[in-house]
């Protein structure tokens, strides 16, 4: 069966951006100096159990330095300023405004990606995001990780699913693109649990999905679960799971990630967690073997649609 996505088999954000902007578009990973309400006691303490000290932004760096390096490889490339580390709407709105507009001042920065928690989108912040959405290419990333409340409690996410639903609706009303983060392999979750999280997320008005491989990093609470209280999949098992997941994601939803960027010096398990290229190759091979592609079973009339 032919894939409408060619040899890649899924609707990658890289392909989407290339078609939309006519050139290579690269994300600049930024640490704007924000913190997180799940660390400072406002929503919780200690943070999510998988989160590293850098607030899930271990590669974050500055804009001119990154552009200087990247432009050597892609001289005609453009950039999206990706506010990655910690919670990037967790500051007074005037500070947020200053940071976002500063990033847009660089001539080759053509848009913004803002990662945050769904409980950090006040009316004033939504108003600012709506303003930016009129002026530039924008998406907002929400760290959901799972739809299951018992897992959410276990990972110390510190907000219920209803808050995520409200945030997606509020962004959708403003025509702001939403990207959902989900983690594959959280403690205690079965394959069905993970696919149910994906399936439900896809029933919302979302632009994209990030599927994160569950990496166990040093100096996180999750490290205390290792090795006895967490299942670490073999690479082949993970590849199969990702392909199962992509098969139930509708084709219009962009795929922003299917692995995770794990700094090798922090990675405890899985030991193959940093082998991004090999995981991607494995996913393509598995799609080819199955004769399938993203969205193949996400079809109401399909007899093979999983009962979730």
Instruction: By CB under 6 A, name the binding residues for ligand SF4.
Output: 36, 38-39, 47-48, 51, 55-56, 86-87, 117, 143
Structure tokens at 59: 């590669």
DSSP-derived pairing of the beta strands 216-217 and 177-184:
unpaired
Helical ranges in 112-210 per DSSP H: 123-135, 149-154, 161-173, 191-202
Would you call 2 exposed, middle or buried from its count of C-beta atoms within 10 A (0-12, 13-18, 19+)?
exposed
For ligand SF4, the closer of residues 55 and 270 by Cβ is 55
φ/ψ (deg, to 5) at 92? -55, 145
Residue closer to ligand SF4, measured from CB, 222 or 249: 222
What's the closest the beta carbon of residue 110 comes to ligand SF4, in angstroms?
A: 26
Tell me the C-alpha distance between 274 and 282, whole Å.
14
Taking alpha carbons only, the member of 150, 213, 203 closest to residue 181 is 213
Closest distance of CB 219 from ligand SF4, Å: 13
Number of other CB atoms surrounding residue 237 within 10 Å: 14
In angstroms, what is the minimal distance from the CB of 188 to ligand SF4? 18
Q: How far is the CB of 221 from ligand SF4 (least distance, A)?
A: 10
Closer to ligand SF4 by Cβ: residue 119 or 286: 119
Write down the least CB distance from residue 250 to ligand SF4, Å: 26
Distance, in Å, from the CA atom of 168 to the CA atom of 156, rounded to the nearest integer, reads 21
Q: How far is the CB of 35 from ligand SF4 (least distance, A)?
A: 8
Which CB atom, from 86 or from 199, has the smaller least distance to ligand SF4? 86
Complex with ligand SF4: residue 5 or 90, whichever CB lies closer: 90
For ligand SF4, the closer of residues 50 and 238 by Cβ is 50
Please name the residues in contact with 83: beta carbons below 8 A apart, sequence gap of 6 or more.
30, 32, 34, 99, 100, 103, 112, 113, 114, 115
Based on the number of CB atoms within 10 Å of its own CB, is 167 exposed (0-12), middle (13-18) or buried (19 or more)? buried
């Amino acid at each position: 069966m032919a894939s409408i996505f060619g040899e890649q088999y899924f609707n990658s954000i890289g392909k989407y951006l290339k078609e939309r902007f006519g050139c290579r578009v690269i994300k600049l990973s930024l640490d704007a100096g924000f913190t997180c309400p799940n660390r400072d006691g406002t929503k919780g303490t200690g943070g999510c159990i998988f989160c590293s000290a850098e607030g899930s932004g271990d590669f974050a760096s500055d804009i001119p330095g990154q552009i200087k390096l990247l432009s050597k490889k892609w001289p005609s490339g453009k950039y999206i300023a990706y506010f990655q580390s910690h919670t990037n709407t967790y500051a007074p709105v005037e500070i947020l405004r200053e940071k976002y507009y500063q990033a847009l001042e660089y001539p080759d920065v053509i848009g913004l990606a803002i990662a945050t928690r769904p409980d950090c989108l006040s009316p004033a912040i939504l108003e600012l995001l709506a303003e930016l959405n009129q002026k530039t290419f924008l998406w907002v990333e929400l760290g959901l990780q799972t739809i299951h409340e018992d897992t959410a409690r276990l990972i110390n996410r510190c907000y219920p699913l209803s808050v995520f639903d409200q945030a997606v609706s509020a962004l959708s009303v403003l025509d702001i693109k939403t990207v959902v983060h989900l983690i594959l392999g959280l403690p205690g979750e079965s394959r069905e649990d993970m696919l149910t999280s994906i399936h439900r997320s896809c029933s919302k008005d979302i632009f994209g999905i990030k599927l994160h491989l569950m990496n166990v990093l040093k100096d996180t609470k999750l490290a205390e679960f290792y090795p006895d209280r967490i299942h670490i999949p073999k690479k082949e098992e993970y590849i199969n799971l990702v392909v199962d997941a992509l098969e139930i994601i509708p084709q219009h939803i962009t795929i922003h990630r299917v692995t995770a960027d794990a700094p090798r010096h922090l990675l405890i398990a899985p030991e193959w967690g940093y082998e991004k290229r090999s995981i991607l190759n494995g996913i393509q091979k598995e799609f080819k073997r199955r004769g399938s592609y993203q969205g193949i079973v996400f079809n109401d009339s399909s007899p093979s649609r999983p009962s979730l």
